[in-house]
Each structure stands twice: as structure tokens, then as C-alpha cells.
């Protein structure tokens, strides 16, 4: 499965090519373990802090409870849950045997991460579809996209994501080197022999691959269509707020496109690592696969921590909300051609409610 190979196969017991070459309790030297562990701890701090702030901002401030932000809040919850597995991954990085946390923790850690990853992919895809409708068909979007409907959609997304991840729960387990004479010192949390022999692991791999590439192709189409719409319509908007509406449309798409791009970049090495893993035929290729998958593990946690950083860098409204959350003073700009970002008339696209925008908008008062 995707999460198992990304997080698990990088840290499982040595293959037949590695068994005679591993050193101590870990498959990796200290020169690799210390930097990777340090980076993961920093990502843990940033991810927990940033995603928690995102959730608090959206839940606490009424003007932040927009349809777009509801999706982002749900994604933040997914990223928070993902970090629950980081301690177990670091344990396996330093000591791949024995697994001491039991069968249930082994299965749940992989299942929850798989489900949350699926949920993130689905949220990004549906959120991009919403942006497509809001920009390309604004009048229809105003009637169709409501907070109530978005909440139902989010529940459906989570249900489908967790259901589609269910096979992982049964494909993972605690395995021993010798099942006929189990030695507690050889316990490993990995895919089961049944998963391999039955072909279910192979099937799940193909499903997880489709889970990544199908949404990516969909997103390419959506953002291509949005880009063409904005380019063709750059001279079609009229009225006193035309420039502001055009700017907010571009800024919204820009931030979402960056989020999607970062997600794709963080996940591409996993697919390369999986290809390498399935073509291991000697010690050196096995070592290359292990190192590549450790890098993929770091990128996996980077993808779960980076979104709040992107919001903070690219959105004035998010930064303003952070200041409000911590009761910090906020500098107001005054002038005939400048507006404060929280005013209700700011950046409302034609036929589109402010509710569908959220803190992805960037004010003119930069």
C-alpha cells in the first residue's frame, strides 16, 4: 500500500540483499539517522503548531468560516492526525526490530495514515473543482456552493477515504522471521505474508497509484481551464471593483496551485522509490531503494506541515487572523484606493459570494 511502502518498506527488515550488510539495530548509519530525526522533529513542531492555528483561526472567527476554509480546516485535521505516527516511524528508523507496540498499533498507524493521505488528495481535488466552478461558472457556483453542502461533501470525502484505505488495515501486521518458531526479538511491523502471496498487496499498490495520478491529471485540467478563463477574461470585468476581483481570482488560484504543486513534489519521490524497490536485484540497488524511501518519508511529513507556512507567506488575511488569534495589534492602512481585507465588499467576484473565497485572498495593501 502507498503509506506502507512510503513509511514502511523504507524501514522494514533487511531483504535478502541487506541481511548480511546491516549494522546494529538500524539499517542506516548515524550520519543519516541524526539529520533525518532532527528534520522530522522540526517538521513535527511546525506541523502541529501551524495546523492547530489554522483550525483555531477558522473555528474561532466567523468571517473565516468560508466554504474554501472549511476544506482547508479539514485538511489541517488530516495533517495533524498524520503526525501521530511520526514517533513510531522514528522508532523503526532507529530500531527496525523488534516491534514492541503490538499488532493493533501496527495496523492502525498504517491505516490512519493511508486514510488521511487519501482524504488530503480528495480534499485538494474537490477544492480545486470548487475554484473552477467559482471562476468559470460564478453564477451557478453561487447557488450550488453553500456551507451546508460543503460540510456534507467533507463528510463524504472522509468516509470514502477511510473506506478505500480499509484494505491496508488487513494487509499489515506483526511478522516474524520464522513463523513456525516465533522469536519475539524478530517482530516487525510490515505487510503480511498473506498480503504478498494472495496478490492483494500488488492490487493495493495499483489502486494507490491511481489514487495519486488520476487526481493529478484532473488538477492539471482544472487549473489549465482556470488559467485560460482568467487570461481570456482579463479585459471582460467591469465596474469599480473589477481590478480587485481579477486580482483575487488570480491570487486564489496561485495559492491553490502552489499547494497542489508542493503536494505533487512531495509525493513523486515515493513513486520513484517504489519503482526502485520492485526492481531490487543486488545489495547496492537495495541500499539505494532504502535511502530513497527514507527521503520519501521526510517529504511525506513535509507535505503534512507546509500548508500553514504557505498560507502565512502568501495570504495577508491569514496573517491578520493569526495576529487576531494572539491578540496582537494590527496595522491599518488608510488611503482612497485601499481597503482593509476584512470588509465585506472586498474581492467579491461577480456572482460569487465572499463565503467561497476565504483567507486565500490577498489584499491590495501589500
362, part of any domain: no
74, part of any domain: yes
* pTM across the whole model: 0.78
314, part of any domain: yes
Q: What are phi and psi of 187, to 5 degrees?
A: -65, 135
User: What residues make up the domain containing 269?
Assistant: 2-328+338-357
Burial class (CB in 10 A: 0-12, 13-18, 19+), 181: exposed
pLDDT given at position 333? 45
pLDDT given at position 359? 54
* Contacts of 62 by beta carbon, 8 Å cutoff, 6+ apart: none
The number of helices, as runs of H, and strands, as runs of E, in the chain is 14, 2
The answer to whether residues 220 and 194 touch, using CB atoms and an 8 Å cutoff, is no
* Cell triple for 133: 466552478
The answer to whether residues 230 and 251 touch, using CB atoms and an 8 Å cutoff, is no
68, part of any domain: yes
pLDDT given at position 352? 40
C-alpha–C-alpha distance, residues 4 and 200, integer Å:
13
Distance of CA 187 to the CA centre of its chain: 30
C-alpha–C-alpha distance, residues 231 and 223, integer Å:
12
Low-confidence stretches of the chain (pLDDT beneath 50): 1-23, 332-357, 361-366
Looking at residue 5, what DSSP letter applies? Answer: I
365, part of any domain: no
Task: Find the CATH number of the domain harbouring 191.
Answer: 1.20.1070.10
pLDDT given at position 244? 66
C-alpha–C-alpha distance, residues 92 and 90, integer Å:
5
Name the residue among 338, 277, 186, 320 with its Cα closest to residue 1: 277
333, part of any domain: no
321, part of any domain: yes
194, part of any domain: yes
C-alpha–C-alpha distance, residues 216 and 278, integer Å:
23
pLDDT given at position 37? 94
Domain count of the fold of the chain:
1
Amino acid at each position: 500500500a502507498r503509506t506502507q511502502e512510503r513509511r514502511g518498506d523504507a524501514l522494514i527488515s533487511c531483504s535478502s540483499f541487506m541481511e548480511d550488510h546491516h549494522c546494529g539495530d538500524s539499517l542506516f548509519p548515524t550520519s543519516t539517522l541524526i539529520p533525518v530525526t532532527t528534520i522530522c522533529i522540526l517538521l513535527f513542531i511546525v506541523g502541529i503548531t501551524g495546523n492547530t492555528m489554522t483550525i483555531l483561526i477558522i473555528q474561532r472567527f466567523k468571517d473565516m468560516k468560508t466554504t474554501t476554509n472549511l476544506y482547508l480546516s479539514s485538511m489541517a485535521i488530516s495533517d495533524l492526525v498524520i503526525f501521530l505516527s511520526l514517533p513510531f516511524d522514528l522508532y523503526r528508523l532507529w530500531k527496525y526490530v523488534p516491534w514492541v507496540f503490538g499488532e493493533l498499533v501496527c495496523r492502525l498507524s498504517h491505516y490512519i495514515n493511508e486514510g488521511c493521505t487519501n482524504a488530503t488528495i480528495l480534499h485538494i481535488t474537490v477544492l480545486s473543482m470548487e475554484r473552477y466552478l467559482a471562476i468559470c461558472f460564478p453564477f451557478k457556483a453561487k447557488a450550488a456552493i453553500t456551507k451546508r453542502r460543503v460540510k456534507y461533501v467533507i463528510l463524504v470525502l472522509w468516509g470514502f477515504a477511510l473506506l478505500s484505505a480499509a484494505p491496508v488495515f488487513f494487509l499489515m501486521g506483526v511478522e516474524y522471521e520464522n513463523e513456525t518458531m516465533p522469536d519475539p526479538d524478530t517482530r516487525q511491523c510490515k505487510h503480511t505474508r498473506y498480503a504478498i502471496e494472495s496478490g492483494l498487496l500488488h492490487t493495493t499498490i495499483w489502486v494507490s497509484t491511481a489514487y495519486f495520478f488520476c487526481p493529478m491529471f484532473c488538477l492539471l485540467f482544472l487549473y489549465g481551464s482556470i488559467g485560460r478563463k482568467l487570461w481570456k477574461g482579463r479585459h471582460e470585468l467591469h465596474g469599480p471593483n473589477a481590478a480587485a476581483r481579477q486580482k483575487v481570482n488570480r491570487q486564489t488560484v496561485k495559492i491553490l496551485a502552489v499547494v497542489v504543486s508542493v503536494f505533487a513534489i512531495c509525493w513523486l519521490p515515493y513513486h520513484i522509490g517504489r519503482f526502485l524497490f520492485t526492481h531490487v536485484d543486488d545489495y547496492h540497488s537495495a541500499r539505494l531503494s532504502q535511502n530513497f524511501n527514507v527521503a520519501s518519508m521526510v517529504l511525506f511529513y513535509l507535505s503534512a506541515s507546509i500548508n500553514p507556512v504557505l498560507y502565512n507567506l502568501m495570504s495577508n488575511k491569514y496573517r491578520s487572523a493569526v495576529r487576531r488569534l494572539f491578540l496582537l495589534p494590527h496595522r491599518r492602512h488608510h488611503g482612497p484606493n485601499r481597503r482593509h481585507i476584512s470588509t465585506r465588499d472586498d474581492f467579491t467576484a461577480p456572482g460569487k459570494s465572499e463565503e467561497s473565497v476565504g483567507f486565500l485572498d490577498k489584499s491590495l495593501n501589500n
